[in-house]
């Protein structure tokens, strides 16, 4: 099977590398990023989104937000102009569920199938090939795509029809953001009280308060390492999609709104491109203490 990969960013690059390692024939393209390293590993360079689609049986898109996916798929020289009927588009971006449904409907008119398959795990798990992948869409298309997705993720679960993958991702992003906030608030308290944060981490990580989020983010915080695996500005985008979706469904999301404002404050302080573990810096600033080794 010939696979197209559009979107060679922090996440897309290691994901594409894992497909190459698995032996798949890959055509890659990103109008904003270089992909010479992937070509050196055996990928074929595409010249446009349309060109990638024309050369592929299945196309993966991994882009920042809804407008980027809409442009790559439905815009000028887009996937829709190059893809053959029966082609499967797997959008692995994190976008608004409604946008996924709209793009899918436009593709369906051309006989092209789309599933949404956003991911969780950030850059480290993208590199490892152990992402959690949440899929919405046609069951037959999912069955075709699943072996490919399993080369990039350790968990690949279909959760419903088109858009359901992104609804699940929004739920995931709410939980992750609030988990980081809770961890940050707790460790700032412990540090201010004079208890070593590393000792607190070792004491509680095996109990009910332990979590994948805490295990991933506390070592970064203790080292003062806020190099992005997942940028605050991208988490803001996801939370905005969650709030918009909640408002459209008449679902109040007060905790989501609160952490959104925390992230907006960090963005104002110049931390938009930091990892979302930098949420701790908001609490550190309030308490005038740093959670470090």
As annotated, the active-site residues are: 169
The Cα 196–Cα 166 span in angstroms is 39
Contact (Cβ atoms closer than 8 angstroms) between residue 214 and residue 183? yes
The Cα 135–Cα 115 span in angstroms is 7
Whole-Å CA distances, 18 to 128, 153, 169, 178: 8, 10, 22, 30
The answer for residues whose C-beta is within 8 angstroms of residue 78's C-beta and 6 or more apart is: 49, 50, 53, 71, 72
End-to-end CA gap in the chain: 49
What tokens were used for 153?
Answer: 């993720």
Contact (Cβ atoms closer than 8 angstroms) between residue 222 and residue 197? yes
Cα angle vertex 246, ends 132, 232, to 5°?
55
Q: How many residues does the chain have?
A: 293
């Amino acid at each position: 099977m010939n696979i197209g990969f559009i979107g060679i960013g922090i996440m897309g690059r290691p994901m594409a590398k894992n497909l190459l390692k698995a032996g798949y024939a890959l055509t890659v393209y990103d109008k904003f990023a270089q992909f010479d390293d992937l070509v050196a590993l055996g990928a074929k360079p595409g010249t446009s989104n349309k060109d990638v689609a024309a050369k592929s049986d299945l196309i993966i898109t991994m882009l920042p937000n809804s407008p980027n996916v809409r442009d790559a798929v439905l815009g000028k020289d887009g996937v829709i102009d190059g893809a053959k009927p029966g082609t499967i588009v797997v959008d692995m971006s994190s976008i608004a569920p409604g946008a996924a449904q709209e793009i899918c409907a436009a593709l369906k008119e051309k006989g092209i199938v789309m599933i949404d398959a956003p991911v969780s795990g950030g850059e480290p798990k993208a590199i490892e090939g152990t992402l959690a992948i949440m899929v919405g869409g046609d069951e037959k298309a999912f069955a075709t795509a699943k072996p490919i997705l399993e080369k990039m993720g350790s968990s690949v679960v279909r959760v419903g029809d088109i858009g359901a993958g992104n609804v699940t991702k929004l739920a995931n992003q709410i939980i992750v953001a609030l988990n980081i906030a809770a961890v940050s608030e707790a460790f700032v308290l412990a540090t201010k009280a004079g208890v070593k944060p590393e000792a607190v981490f070792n004491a509680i990580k095996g109990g009910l308060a332990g979590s994948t989020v805490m295990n991933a983010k506390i070592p970064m915080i203790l080292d003062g390492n806020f190099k992005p695996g997942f940028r605050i500005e991208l988490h803001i985008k996801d939370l905005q999609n969650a709030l918009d979706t909640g408002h459209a469904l008449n679902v109040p999301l007060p905790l989501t709104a609160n952490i959104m404002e925390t992230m907006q404050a960090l963005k104002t302080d110049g931390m938009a491109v930091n990892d979302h573990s930098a949420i701790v810096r908001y609490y550190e600033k309030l308490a005038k203490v740093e959670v470090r080794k």
